[in-house]
């Protein structure tokens, strides 16, 4: 038993060491990924459930790693937030998404573009200027940009974050609270937050018609949106039943695999045309 214990201890040390080295390597690769053009964006359609029209798209980052293949954002965004790389990466996402929105508008499809804003980006003093100059550079009307922020990124930096969200609002930029209901939030603060949209997290949508608690949570968010005059968008809609339920219950917007997976830029417009029956 003694040797067994020691062996498993050594095994443990070795695997932790290995894991740490793999992490360091990933971090090193992450630091050069931008200059090596390894990132690209995909776009997930957002659908108005009343009209059945695509009203916009959420831009989502992808990392094509030369050896690992596609690395999911959940594996590298937290790392990029820790080491600060999220700032230049986030600027690149914003620029790329606005460039794409301008191109779609030029080709007769003026859609709203939603971009995820990390807590680290929101804490930058220059963030408002960065966003505004990106819009000017691509000649995008501010009302066509939506920034997705999480409750937690606002709550952990409340006064400063509210000040910046107010500046965005003054400029006409829209703000959505992402992953609503999963972080720590308070209704008192939500009332003070200058936001226009609540996003129901996919964890509540997945079992919407199976799990009564999830049904009640989704209902509560929809009702909250109504009483605070915020539009509500459900993410992770995968079935016709979920879509029907949300639409009947008064949720205005939705996105999810039921409509479309996030698409490369080149496939997006033809999807929209087909979806609209053209």
Span 173-192, contacts to Ca ion by CB under 5 A = 178-179
Span 109-168, contacts to ligand C2E by CB under 6 A = 116, 118
| Type and span of the H or E element at 9 | helix 2-33
Please choose, from the candidates 36, 43, 128, 117, the residue with its C-alpha nearest in 3D space to the C-alpha of residue 81. 117
How far, in Å, are 182, 247, 269 from residue 203 at the CA level? 9, 18, 28
Q: What is the DSSP letter of 148?
A: E
Residue 45 in the binding site for ligand C2E (CB under 6 A): no
Please choose, from the candidates 197, 239, 221, the residue with its C-alpha nearest in 3D space to the C-alpha of residue 56. 197
Residues 212-241: x where in contact with ligand C2E by CB under 6 A, - otherwise, as a string: -----------------------xxxx---
Span 144-163, contacts to Ca ion by CB under 5 A = 148
Instruction: Report the DSSP pairing between strands 69-71 and 231-234.
Output: unpaired
Please choose, from the candidates 139, 34, 44, the residue with its C-alpha nearest in 3D space to the C-alpha of residue 90. 34
* Residue from the set 14, 163, 257, 270 that interacts with ligand C2E by CB under 6 A: 257
Residue 179 in the binding site for ligand C2E (CB under 6 A): yes
Residue 253 in the binding site for ligand C2E (CB under 6 A): no
Whose Cβ is closer to ligand C2E: residue 73's or residue 250's? 73
Footprint of ligand C2E (CB under 6 A): 44, 60-61, 72-74, 77, 90, 93, 116, 118, 178-179, 202, 235-238, 256-257, 262
């Amino acid at each position: 038993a003694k040797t067994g214990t020691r062996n498993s201890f050594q095994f443990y040390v070795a695997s932790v060491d290995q894991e740490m080295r793999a992490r360091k390597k990933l971090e090193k690769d992450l630091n050069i990924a931008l200059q090596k053009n390894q990132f690209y964006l995909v776009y997930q359609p957002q659908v108005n459930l009343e009209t059945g029209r695509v009203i916009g798209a959420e831009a989502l980052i992808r990392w094509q790693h030369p050896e690992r293949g596609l690395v999911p954002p959940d594996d590298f965004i937290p790392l990029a937030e820790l080491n600060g790389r999220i700032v230049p990466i986030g600027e690149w996402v914003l620029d790329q998404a606005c460039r794409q929105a301008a191109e779609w508008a030029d080709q007769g499809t003026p859609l709203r573009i939603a971009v995820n804003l990390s807590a680290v980006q929101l804490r930058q003093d220059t963030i408002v200027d960065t966003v505004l100059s990106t819009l000017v550079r691509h000649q995008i009307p501010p009302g066509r940009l939506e920034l997705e922020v999480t409750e937690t990124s606002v709550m952990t930096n409340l006064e400063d974050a509210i000040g910046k969200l107010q500046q965005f609002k003054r400029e006409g930029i829209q703000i959505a609270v992402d992953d609503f209901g999963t972080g720590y939030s308070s209704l008192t603060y939500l009332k003070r937050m200058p936001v226009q949209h609540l996003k129901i997290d996919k964890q509540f949508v997945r079992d919407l018609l199976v799990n009564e608690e999830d049904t009640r949570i989704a209902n509560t968010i929809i009702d909250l949106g109504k009483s605070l005059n915020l539009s509500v968008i459900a993410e992770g809609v995968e079935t016709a039943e979920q879509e029907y339920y949300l639409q009947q219950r008064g949720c205005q917007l939705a996105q999810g695999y039921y409509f479309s997976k996030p698409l490369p830029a080149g496939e997006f417009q033809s999807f929209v045309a087909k979806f609209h029956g053209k």
